[in-house]
Amino acid sequence: MSTRIDTSATAVVADSFEGDLRRYLRGLGGLLAFVLVWWVSAMTTQPSYLVPGPLESVHAFINLFATSTAIVVPVLGSSLVLPTGLAHLAQTLFHYVPGLLLGAGCGISLGLAMGWKGTLDDWLRPLVRVLRPIPPLAWVVFAIVWFGIHHTGAAFIVFVGAFWINFYGAYGGVEDVSNELTDVASTLGVERDLSMLKLVALPSAAPQVLTGFRTSIGRCWMIVVGAELFGAPGVGYEIINASNNLAMATSVAYMVLISLAFLCMDVGFRLVERRVLAWR
């Protein structure tokens, strides 16, 4: 009997491995097809600098790490010498990370509060509907006037973008909490609003809250690059600076650097998400 069970388990593992392998091979095939189209486009476009080829872009990417650049660490005021590519990525992270975390924290808190308390929702819903359609980059002019063209101004733009994404993730998650769950909790002695929110609503809304935060990780990379196009130091500024000098391969290299940074953050967060939601 144990032999049958072991054989069955082995077959399941083998099927799972074959399925994953097929998926990875398809993904690799799609990537190779993209590189081929990119290479053909670069070969047939004139002047050639308009579309740098894959090999030229790889060479430019390697060059990002061939030299070193000194940057100033905010708050601490100390200098840090890093490979040029990492130095500019660090400059971006100096306003990306605070903006993302503060925006997510405030957005999730307000979303949970409004989704749970109908009275607060009645008071603030009109204001939310007025402010929500305004794109984060529309606040750039105010960020420049209020904070200047530096890390604080760019962090403010990221904050706005992260706030709304996480707000609606938390708000929708709490709104979808089943009445059956709250009824069962009440019969088990959970009576206070705060206890009900902590023990019932928040765990039930956790999948949507985490999905909102994961979405904001990617969206805020788009926002921060847009904010840096106006002069804040970082990868976005280097992209526009390189394109102004017709160094399009360098612009592509910085774009690839952004993609790699996002992939690392996304994979890391997915691992955390799986552990947090292991109960599902």
76-127 pLDDT, tens digit each? 777 888 899 899 999 999 999 999 999 999 999 999 888 888 888 889 999 9
Q: How far apart are CA 80 and CA 77, in angstroms?
A: 10
pLDDT score of 19? 67
Q: What is the dihedral of CA 186, 191, 193, 194, to 10 degrees?
A: -110
Per-residue pLDDT band at 197 (split at 50, 70, 90): low
pLDDT score of 90? 92
Per-residue pLDDT band at 229 (split at 50, 70, 90): confident
Q: Is the pLDDT of residue 164 over 90?
A: yes
Per-residue pLDDT band at 159 (split at 50, 70, 90): very high
Q: Is the pLDDT of residue 266 over 80?
A: yes
Burial label for 201, CB within 10 Å (0-12, 13-18, 19+), is buried
pLDDT score of 103? 94
pLDDT score of 6? 55
Q: Taking all residues of the chain, what is their mean pLDDT, rounded to a whole number?
A: 83
User: Which three-class secondary structure string do you get for 7-65?
Assistant: HHHHHHHHHHHHHHHHHHHHHHHHHHHHHHHHHHHHHHCCCHHHCCCHHHHHHHHHHCC
Q: Is the pLDDT of residue 175 over 90?
A: no
Q: Is the pLDDT of residue 12 over 60?
A: no
Q: How many other C-beta atoms lie within 10 A of the C-beta of residue 178?
A: 10
The token duo for 155 is 């962090």
Beta-strand relationship, 79-83 and 68-72: antiparallel
